[in-house]
Amino acid sequence: MGIIHVLSEAVANKIAAGEIIERPASIVKELIENSLDAGATSVEVEIKHGGKSLIRVADNGCGMSPEDAELAFQRHATSKISGAEDLLRIASFGFRGEALPSIGAVSRLTLTTRVEADDAGTEVCVEGGVKRSVKPKPGRVGTVVEVRDLFFNTPARRKFLRTDPTELGHVLDVVTHLALANPSVHFTLSSANKSLLSLTPAKTFRERAFQIWGEDQSRYLLEIQGEGGGIQISGIIGKPTMVRANRTDQVFFINRRWIRHVGFSYALQEGYHGLMMHGQYPVGVVFVDVDPERVDVNVHPTKQEVRISKESEIKSLICRTVAECLQKAGDLAPDALQPKTFSRPFSTRLPESQPAYLKFQEENAAAVSESVLQVSEPEPAEAPVPVSGESFIAPVVVRDQLHITKVLGQIHHTFIVAETEAGMILIDQHAAHERVMFEATLKEFQSGHPKRQRLLMDEILELHPKRHEILKRAMPLLEKIGFEIEPFGENAFVVRSYPAALADENPVACLERFLEEMEDGKTKGSLENAQENLAALFACKRRSVKAHDPMTGPAMQTLLERLARCDNPFHCPHGRPTFFKYSFLDLEKQFKRK
């Protein structure tokens, strides 16, 4: 007698539930996706105890016939695909036919549904995977799924649930993320009978974003748009001053499907290169649209992991689109009075009741093409500053921020205070000088004819084999920027010349530091990054103005002028801010004059 037997459907469902349902938020995601697949224009979500005691999702979608309502709880029962070939072109969120039976296996579930053609609806009750009852039930067209006592029959899983507020936070993320991708659908979320979100149908993604983030945060959002190689990128990103301590506010969609993708997240981050410090993460909601045949969503039961062909193309397009958007945005200087921590959307007032939102809707009745989600204070009309004889074009806004009318002085020999047309700025003299030196060094490198300085005596550089390898790889770059280095025996090199930009610094010490950073992985592989890193290193080594250095008026003036001419005057090469601005308006508000 064989020892293998087929598991009962109830057990199989419980196993599937283990993969699909991590926490209440996973159920909310599956149920909302079902509602969207059913063509709902309104989805109401209600939860209690972070979803542990109740999750209720009600929609006005197409509903199910009595037969379908029963069939829906069978494993792999789906209306969304029928043959294997359909797996290649999945247009719906669901297709595996696993969600409802899995949820039913680990909770007490009641589904009430009605199709338009029928007078009455159907109610199906399932408890721990066992069908308890199926009966006719009056009700409106659409579907209501109530999930109670999650994991009541799997205590081990229940123990892994976090506190109610944490679970609620995850549910909120799911609802906001799906709402962002479906702006025309009305979404509501309430917890313990308290309304947390009420998102009326919005005409555009932009409007939906405003509903969710509210006035305070929308000021710091920028719209992105990119295209190439059959890929389209759209969405919003935060200005570099809108930082988070983790990646939770990075959301990616592929063909409107919300996915998790570490690679995309890195690509987004890379777009902020040099604008953020280590350990800071940008905010971004990014939609990627590609030919569905390039995306395999049948990889994981939650359908949040996908396999994409030519993924690297998408990543570089994301990175490029973000970098270009930030470059164009120009005004990236942090507002000194900007709130440093942004509240989660749900803890603020309901967006629609905000006067700014009403104003936003009014103003956007006609399509607007400006690229910044700036709705609160329109930028004052800019006074163009002549950009004479410069090889680069700095956006006008940048120059406005740094259009200094008066240098007022120094504080603690460390910060420079200056008056600008829009208010006042406070500059970190060392960070500013480092930025100026960094860009000068980089331009020299890029010129292709860097000035070279011969060492009085050749120096021998002995290296550990690993560093030896790194140096060998970096050799073409080092030569390009002015080093003259040759292999010398087994594990050594001889250094003959060095870039003049290094002035009186010890070139060998600089090289060693560079190799150390390369080894630590601080510098990523690409040549361009290595070059930037070297420039940053040199800028740091070259005699720069330090904190506590007294500066004369003309020296401050010159520094600020040179800073204004930088491609990115807002951050030092390490991503720290170079200056903060205090707009006159904000100052007036602070002093309650406005």
Cα 230 to its chain centre, rounded Å, is: 22
The Cα-based distances of 229 to 91, 255, 311, 323, 376 in angstroms read: 21, 15, 12, 18, 36
Q: Which of 97, 330, 334, 450 binds ligand ADP (CB under 6 A)?
A: 97
Among residues 25 and 432, whose Cβ is nearest to ligand ADP?
A: 25
Among residues 144 and 566, whose Cβ is nearest to ligand ADP?
A: 144
Examine residue 106 and tell whether it contacts Mg ion (CB under 5 A).
Answer: no
- Under a CB-based contact definition with an 8 Å cutoff, are residues 175 and 31 in contact? no
Among residues 128 and 330, whose Cβ is nearest to ligand ADP?
A: 128
Site for Mg ion in 534-593 (CB under 5 A): none
Helix axes 205-218, 355-363, angle to 10 degrees: 140
Q: State the binding string over 100-139 for ligand ADP (x if CB under 6 A, else -).
A: x---------------------------------------
Among residues 93 and 205, whose Cβ is nearest to ligand ADP?
A: 93
Q: How far is the CB of 198 from ligand ADP (least distance, A)?
A: 20
The Cα-based distances of 297 to 38, 106, 229, 345 in angstroms read: 19, 25, 21, 30
Q: How would DSSP label each residue in 311-342?
A: HHHHHHHHHHHHHHHHHHH---PPBTTS-SSP
Among residues 111 and 283, whose Cβ is nearest to ligand ADP?
A: 111
- Under a CB-based contact definition with an 8 Å cutoff, are residues 68 and 152 in contact? no
Continuous segment of H or E residues that includes residue 127: strand 121-127
Q: Which does 43 bind (CB under 5 to 8 A by kind): Mg ion, ligand ADP, none?
A: none
What DSSP designation does 391 have?
A: S
Examine residue 321 and tell whether it contacts Mg ion (CB under 5 A).
Answer: no
Q: Which of 26, 60, 143, 420 binds ligand ADP (CB under 6 A)?
A: 143
Selected range binding Mg ion among 28-36, 198-206, 478-486, 572-580, rule: CB under 5 A: 28-36
Examine residue 46 and tell whether it contacts ligand ADP (CB under 6 A).
Answer: no
Examine residue 533 and tell whether it contacts ligand ADP (CB under 6 A).
Answer: no
The Cα-based distances of 60 to 66, 172, 414 in angstroms read: 17, 21, 62
Output b/e per residue, 196-205; b: 16+ Cβ within 10 A: bbbbeebeeb
Residue with tokens 């994409």: 308
Examine residue 13 and tell whether it contacts ligand ADP (CB under 6 A).
Answer: no
Is residue 419 exposed (0-12), middle (13-18) or buried (19+ Cβ within 10 Å)? Answer: middle
Selected range binding ligand ADP among 97-105, 287-295, 315-323, 457-465, rule: CB under 6 A: 97-105
Among residues 42 and 364, whose Cβ is nearest to ligand ADP?
A: 42
Tell which residue, 474, 476, 471, 479, has the closest CA to residue 450. Answer: 479
Examine residue 56 and tell whether it contacts ligand ADP (CB under 6 A).
Answer: no
Q: Which of 13, 14, 23, 34 binds ligand ADP (CB under 6 A)?
A: 34
Site for ligand ADP in 380-399 (CB under 6 A): none
Selected range binding ligand ADP among 21-29, 74-82, 178-186, 343-351, rule: CB under 6 A: 74-82
Selected range binding ligand ADP among 18-26, 78-86, 246-254, 505-513, rule: CB under 6 A: 78-86
Q: How far is the CB of 149 from ligand ADP (least distance, A)?
A: 20
Q: Which of 94, 282, 301, 482 binds Mg ion (CB under 5 A)?
A: 94
Examine residue 271 and tell whether it contacts Mg ion (CB under 5 A).
Answer: no
Strands 284-289 and 250-254 turn out to be parallel
Count of beta carbons in the 10 Å neighbourhood of residue 67? 9
Q: What is the C-alpha to C-alpha distance for residues 37 and 59, in angstroms, rounded to an integer?
A: 11
Examine residue 241 and tell whether it contacts ligand ADP (CB under 6 A).
Answer: no
Q: What is the C-alpha to C-alpha distance for residues 371 and 356, in angstroms, rounded to an integer?
A: 18
Q: Which does 495 bind (CB under 5 to 8 A by kind): ligand ADP, Mg ion, none?
A: none
Return phi, psi of residue 482, to 5°.
120, 0
Examine residue 300 and tell whether it contacts ligand ADP (CB under 6 A).
Answer: no
Q: Which of 61, 104, 129, 282 binds ligand ADP (CB under 6 A)?
A: 61
CA-based R_g, the chain, Å: 29
Examine residue 301 and tell whether it contacts ligand ADP (CB under 6 A).
Answer: no
Q: Which of 44, 95, 252, 325 binds ligand ADP (CB under 6 A)?
A: 95
3-state secondary structure of 575: coil
3-state secondary structure of 106: coil
Residue closest to ligand ADP (Cβ): 94
Q: What is the C-alpha to C-alpha distance for residues 487 and 460, in angstroms, rounded to an integer?
A: 10
Examine residue 38 and tell whether it contacts ligand ADP (CB under 6 A).
Answer: yes
Return phi, psi of residue 326, to 5°.
-65, -35
Q: How would DSSP label each residue in 171-203?
A: HHHHHHHHHHH-TTSEEEEEETTEEEEEE---S
Q: How far is the CB of 384 from Mg ion (least distance, A)?
A: 55
Among residues 124 and 427, whose Cβ is nearest to Mg ion?
A: 124
Count, residues in the chain: 594
Q: Which does 59 bind (CB under 5 to 8 A by kind): Mg ion, ligand ADP, none?
A: ligand ADP
Among residues 34 and 182, whose Cβ is nearest to Mg ion?
A: 34
Examine residue 96 and tell whether it contacts ligand ADP (CB under 6 A).
Answer: yes
Size of the site for Mg ion (CB under 5 A): 3
Q: Which of 26, 34, 191, 578 binds Mg ion (CB under 5 A)?
A: 34
Continuous segment of H or E residues that includes residue 488: strand 484-488
Among residues 61 and 274, whose Cβ is nearest to ligand ADP?
A: 61
- Under a CB-based contact definition with an 8 Å cutoff, are residues 234 and 256 in contact? no
Count of beta carbons in the 10 Å neighbourhood of residue 136? 13
Q: Which does 122 bind (CB under 5 to 8 A by kind): ligand ADP, Mg ion, none?
A: none
Cα distance from N-terminal residue to C-terminal residue, the chain? 87
- Under a CB-based contact definition with an 8 Å cutoff, are residues 121 and 136 in contact? yes
Q: Which of 27, 43, 69, 99 binds Mg ion (CB under 5 A)?
A: 99
Strands 295-296 and 484-488 turn out to be unpaired
Q: How far is the CB of 124 from ligand ADP (least distance, A)?
A: 11
Size of the site for ligand ADP (CB under 6 A): 22
Residues that bind ligand ADP (CB under 6 A): 30, 34-35, 38, 59, 61-64, 72, 77-80, 94-100, 143
Residues that bind Mg ion (CB under 5 A): 34, 94, 99
